[in-house]
């Protein structure tokens, strides 16, 4: 039981909240979703922090966070019914705290109108209670959507793409924003277009999980991304085609031009750049700062040149501190002490797994390598 003095102090601080940080954008969103006006303090109103702590066992810290955008509960009995229903529907205390922190105004909504129909829609599609709790607590704005006009059609559209509901919970936990869009005007036309380009259904499903927001672009934008990829010379039948299109979607035309200019300044010709994009399009999603850092490391010892980097562009994705520098340091120590009967190519040294690298170049020479700092950057368990 939290001392009453502590609860009262929190209430007093909330009545004069000038010292608190401003509410986040998410709180502003919750205001629009769950209420058209701020609740005013009435004779029956209680401080939200007091209510959550004394009646529903929230910690003072969690209660304070939840109270940053709504300070009073006008109808505690209504809030009790909402929280009771959520618990009966499989929401744990952790789920409820997460939901209330993100969207505290859910406590002031109408249970039969705002919450029950949305939970029921998920139940009708076969989601279990824990899956529903995970999805809703991660994205509470879902409760502000129409059950029949928005949530139902969106879930049906995703089911038609996946072929069943088995993967839906995982997908919606990763990206609940699918339930925010009209998928009949975004997702479905985009998938139809990509299929017409020769992209397989299995690849589309894979990318749906890994890059969900790509499929929510306007169809005309996706067609423009494909046009730009076509101009880069990637065959639509290539497995790199969809990857390249996703990468292209992540950059504005201006950002793309800056990336091209960077490669040119680092010594790559136009043909080199085209070659890299066709082989490893993901390189273009890396920040310009990292690309520059990686190339500087690879060139600094004079053991690699630009042509080697172009032919092994996947090295540009590697971590400088976690992979390239540590392995280069090991190689230099072993080379200086003449411990390598056969010197490996640096490109191979950088590409092998951490487990293989440790087994072949670190553990057999642990005494010779000594206590060096690079080991802290190597992942031993893989």
Over 90: is that where the pLDDT of 42 sits?
A: no
pLDDT for 238-289, tens place per residue? 999 999 999 999 999 999 999 999 999 988 999 999 999 999 999 999 999 9
Q: Which three-class secondary structure string do you get for 213-247? A: HHHHCCHHHHHHHHHHHHHCCCCCCCCHHHHHHHH
Quote the strand ranges of the chain, DSSP E.
46-47, 72-73
Over 70: is that where the pLDDT of 376 sits?
A: no
Q: What pLDDT shows up at residue 16?
A: 45
Over 60: is that where the pLDDT of 377 sits?
A: no
pTM, whole model, 2 decimals?
0.76
**Dist CA 366 CA 282 (whole Å):** 35
pLDDT for 101-149, tens place per residue? 999 999 999 999 999 999 999 999 999 999 999 999 999 989 999 999 9
- Per-residue pLDDT, averaged over 60-65, amounts to 91
Over 80: is that where the pLDDT of 156 sits?
A: yes
Confidence band of 375 (pLDDT split at 50, 70, 90):
low
- Per-residue pLDDT, averaged over 294-322, amounts to 90
DSSP line for 168-184 = HHHHHHH-GGGGTS-TT
Q: What pLDDT shows up at residue 43?
A: 47
DSSP line for 28-58 = HHHHHHH-SSPPPP-TT-EEHHHHHHHHH--
Q: What pLDDT shows up at residue 146?
A: 93
Mean pLDDT, the chain, as a whole number? Answer: 85
pLDDT for 310-335, tens place per residue? 999 999 999 999 999 999 989 989 99
Q: What are phi and psi of 377, to 5 degrees?
A: -95, 0
Which residue, among 72, 75, 91, has the nearest Cα to 83 in the 3D structure? 91
Over 50: is that where the pLDDT of 184 sits?
A: yes
């Amino acid at each position: 039981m939290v001392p009453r003095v502590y609860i009262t102090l929190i209430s007093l601080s909330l009545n004069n909240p000038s010292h608190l940080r401003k509410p986040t954008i998410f709180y502003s969103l919750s205001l629009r979703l769950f209420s058209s006006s701020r609740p005013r303090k009435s004779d029956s109103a209680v401080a939200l922090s007091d209510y959550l702590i004394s009646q529903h066992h929230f910690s003072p810290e969690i209660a304070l966070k939840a109270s940053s955008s709504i300070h009073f509960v006008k109808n505690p009995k209504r809030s009790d019914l909402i929280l009771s229903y959520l618990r009966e529907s499989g929401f744990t205390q952790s789920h409820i705290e997460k939901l209330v922190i993100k969207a505290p105004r859910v406590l002031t909504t109408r249970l039969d109108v705002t919450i029950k129909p949305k939970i029921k829609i998920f139940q009708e599609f076969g989601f279990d209670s824990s899956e529903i709790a995970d999805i809703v607590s991660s994205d509470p704005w879902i409760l502000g959507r129409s059950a029949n006009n928005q949530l139902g059609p969106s879930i049906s559209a995703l089911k038609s793409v996946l072929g069943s509901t088995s993967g839906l919970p995982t997908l919606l936990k990763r990206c609940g924003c699918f339930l925010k869009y009209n998928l009949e005007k975004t997702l479905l036309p985009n998938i139809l277009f990509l299929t017409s380009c020769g992209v397989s259904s299995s690849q589309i499903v894979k990318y749906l999980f890994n890059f969900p927001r790509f499929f929510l672009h306007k169809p005309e934008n996706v067609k423009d991304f494909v046009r730009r990829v076509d101009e880069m010379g990637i065959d639509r039948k290539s497995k790199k085609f969809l990857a390249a299109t996703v990468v292209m979607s992540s950059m504005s035309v201006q950002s793309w031009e800056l990336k091209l200019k960077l490669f040119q300044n680092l010594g790559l010709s136009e043909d080199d750049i085209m070659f890299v994009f066709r082989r490893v399009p993901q390189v273009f999603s890396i920040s310009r700062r990292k690309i520059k850092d990686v190339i500087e490391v690879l060139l600094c010892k004079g053991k690699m040149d630009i042509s080697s980097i172009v032919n092994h562009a996947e090295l540009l994705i590697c971590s400088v501190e976690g992979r390239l520098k540590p392995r280069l340091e090991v190689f230099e120590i072993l080379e200086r002490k003449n411990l390598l009967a056969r010197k490996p190519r640096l490109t191979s040294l950088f590409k092998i797994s951490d487990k293989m690298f440790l087994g072949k170049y670190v553990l057999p020479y642990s005494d010779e390598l000594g206590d060096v700092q690079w080991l802290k950057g190597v992942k031993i368990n893989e």
